[in-house]
Structure 1
Amino acid sequence: MKCACGGKAVYTRRYSGQIFCKKCFNNYFERKVHDTIRSQKMINRLDRVGIGISGGKDSTVLLSVLSKIAGKLEITLHPILIDEGITGYRLSGINAAEKTCKSLRLNLKMASIKDLAGSTLDELQELGDSKPCTYCGVLRRKLLNKEANEQKLDKLATGHNLDDEAQAIMMNYVAGDINRLHRLKGTATDSDLIKRIKPLNRIPEKEIMLYALLNKLEVASDECPYAGENHRTKIRDFINTLESDQPGVKHKIISGWEKIIETSTPEKKPMHKCKICNHPSSRKICRSCELTEEIKIKRKDATKEVAD
């Protein structure tokens, strides 16, 4: 098989039947990201855009592509990495992110969960906590927003892809949670919350992986040791099975979601300032500070047990 241009085929997209050579695939991919940004009105001219980077394939590809089209969009890029403190896992991501940022001549800003919560994810696990992912997700979001505010950024881009979006939508379908379906749009509801954007949200995970491979990007491939079988992985496997049988299902899930949020109204919750950290929250004390207080209590209890 050959590409329409006559070049050697490297990829066939099942749901459309299109065949791509390396050059045409790269052109399609980068144009798709640019068109997604334009059609969803993600970025304005002269925006300072933060990039949440982990060193993994999604965020590395996102940063690489945005660096190519930043001039056309008239924006500046500001990568941010959150160190969760996971031995043997995070270091490879940091190394990959540093190499990528150096090659793109971008300054990488790093922040750690330990600085925010007083404990790394590994230390939380040692305290006997069985849900490190709960802490990680909440604290990472808090740190990214904090760093973005300190750098006076206008937008915060993350590497969520089509698969991630389809999974999140399906999880909220199953839960019957209309409010969370609306929140997936990423609209900021407070001036202190940096608007989040997802320029890869219409690109399948396998195409992102292919782009990274074809362009020899420096990517960390280690899997988080705390990742395991959970509700999301079951949803992921279910959607992948559907996609295998009916190519294009993931795109249809997105289309259905767009129609739902256009014709429904989310419940509006008043925003407050967290009594502890002063960050915007729908609660009097934000979830991040609640978890941080839980961690302090766990550490105190652990210290008492050692003393006894």
Structure 2
Amino acid sequence: MKSCSVCGKRAVYFQRHSNRHLCRKHFIYDFEKRVKYAVKKYGMIQKNDRIAIALSGGKDSTALTFVLKKLYGKRRDLEFFAITVDEGIAGYRPPTVEIAKKVTEMLEIPHYIISFKEEFGMDLDEMVKIGNKKPCSYCGVFRKYLLNRTARELNATKLATGHNLDDETQTILLNFMQGDIERLARLIPQRVQENLVVRIKPFREIYEKEVMLYCILNGIEVDMNECPYSRFPVRAVIRDFLYEFENRYPGRKFSVMRSFEALQDCFKANFPQKDLNRCEICGEPTPKQICQACVLRKELGIL
């Protein structure tokens, strides 16, 4: 590894999109600087916020919890707490739940754990066996449902998630290639909706591999196992395409993000944000009469 482009010390990382080599100190500085840039640019954190962190115990959410506490934990006007959703994935989720417990204890952050089993009467593994949908269809809907409801009940003003630059560009390209422009437009919140806790993504300017390195350099415990259901979604194809594209042409994920941002006004004009209703069954916010979580619960026979 060559010398750091900033100080000349031994570099630990080559940042291809900027063509810079960075030592441990300047990598961490650059990482945290871009987190603060994203937070400021998108107005993610404001005075007197009570911020819920969606903490799965994976590398992204664990690093997010660590960096938010480090950068903003001394502000007396802010409060942080973590929510862990245990979907019930045998062999995969239990270790990450334990990591989440350790992290919150170390950082002295209140921690709340909720599970599919307790809330719905069955875990994800059971849902997959009796249902006719792909695992991610159940997981995504029910996780969002529980995170929003729990964050709201605990009086959170924001819900922070560990979505990184790779996640965001995959979602943008996936919706575009599926022709779902209305769903793409929904990635741009236009106003606060009743009963829907505002989501923030402080890692949207950070590559996934940089999150991993940040964990290693800070001695943050991570679980390297991949979700056993991650092979199912079409997202995996988009992920691999973007990886190869970025590998050949560094910085192209930023290009995807900036192009999306440049189209925001067009999206807002053509697909204005719809007012949300309250689900006729559970009362949670939904654009329809019955929320998708209740639709799935009916299909599974647990409602």
* Both structures adopt the same fold (TM-score exceeding 0.5): yes
Aligned equivalent of 1:125, options 113, 123, 128: 128
Matches of 2:166 and 2:51, distance apart in 1:
23
- CA apart distance, 1:268: 4.0
In structure 2, C-alpha distance between the alignment counterparts of 1:28 and 1:209, rounded to whole Å? 14
Residues 1:57 and 2:59 are matched in the alignment: yes
* Superimposed CA distance per residue, residues 124-167 of structure 1 (whole angstroms, 9 cap, x where no aligned partner): 13325451210110000000001101100000000000000000
The answer to whether the aligner puts 1:234 opposite 2:237 as a matched pair is yes
AA of the residue aligned to 2:282: C
Give the match for residue 31 of structure 1: 33
Instruction: Pick which of 71-80 and 222-231 moved more.
Output: 71-80
Give the conservation status (yes or no) of the 8 Å contact 1:96–1:219: yes
Tell me which of 277, 281, 289 is aligned to 2:282.
277
Residue 210 of structure 1: aligned partner: 213
Residue 75 (structure 1) shift: 1.8
Change in Cα spacing, 1:15 to 1:96, as seen in structure 2 (3 Å) is: same
Matched, 1:146 2:176: no
1:6 aligned to 2:8? Answer: yes
SS in 2 for 1:80: strand
CA contact (8 A) 2:83 2:112 kept: yes
Which segment drifts farther, 101-110 or 268-277? Answer: 268-277
The CA deviation string for residues 195-214 of structure 1, in whole angstroms up to 9 with x for no partner, is 00100011011111110111
Residue 179 of structure 1, CA deviation: 2.0
In the alignment, does 2:227 pair up with 1:224?
yes
- Percent identity among equivalent residues? 42
Alpha-carbon distance in structure 1 between the residues aligned to 2:46 and 2:125: 39
In the other structure, the counterpart of 2:180 is 177
Change (3 A) 1:72 1:32: farther
Distance 2:160 2:249 in 1: 30
Amino acid at match of 2:289: K
Summarize the alignment of residues 188-207 of structure 1 with structure 2, pairs less than 5 Å apart: 189-207=192-210
- CA pair 186-198 structure 1, distance change in 2 beyond 3 A: farther
Q: How many residues align?
A: 298
From the superposition, tell whether residues 14 and 268 of structure 1 become closer, same or farther in structure 2 (CA, over 3 Å): closer
Structure 1 residues without counterparts, runs of 5 or longer: 300-308
Give 1:190 deviation, angstroms. Answer: 1.7
Give the whole-Å Cα distance in 2 for the aligned partners of 1:137 and 1:128: 15
Residue 27 (structure 1) shift: 1.1
Q: Relative to structure 1, is the Cα distance of residues 70 and 268 closer, same or farther in structure 2, using a 3 angstrom cutoff?
A: closer
Q: Is the 2:59–2:211 Cα contact (8 Å) retained in structure 1?
A: yes
SS of corresponding position for 1:257: helix
- Distance in 1 (CA, whole Å) between partners of 2:266 and 2:188 is 14
Q: Which moved more, 1:126-135 or 1:270-279?
A: 126-135
Question: What TM-score do the two structures reach when normalised by structure 1?
Answer: 0.92
- TM-score, structure 2 as length reference: 0.94
CA 71–254 in structure 1, closer or farther in 2 if over 3 Å, else same: same
The 8 Å contact of residues 86 and 120 in structure 1, kept in 2 or not, is answered as: yes
Distance across 2 between alignment mates of 1:156 and 1:274: 21
The residue type paired with residue 142 of structure 2 is L
Kindly indicate whether the alpha-carbon contact (under 8 Å) linking 2:63 and 2:215 is maintained by their aligned counterparts in 1.
Answer: yes
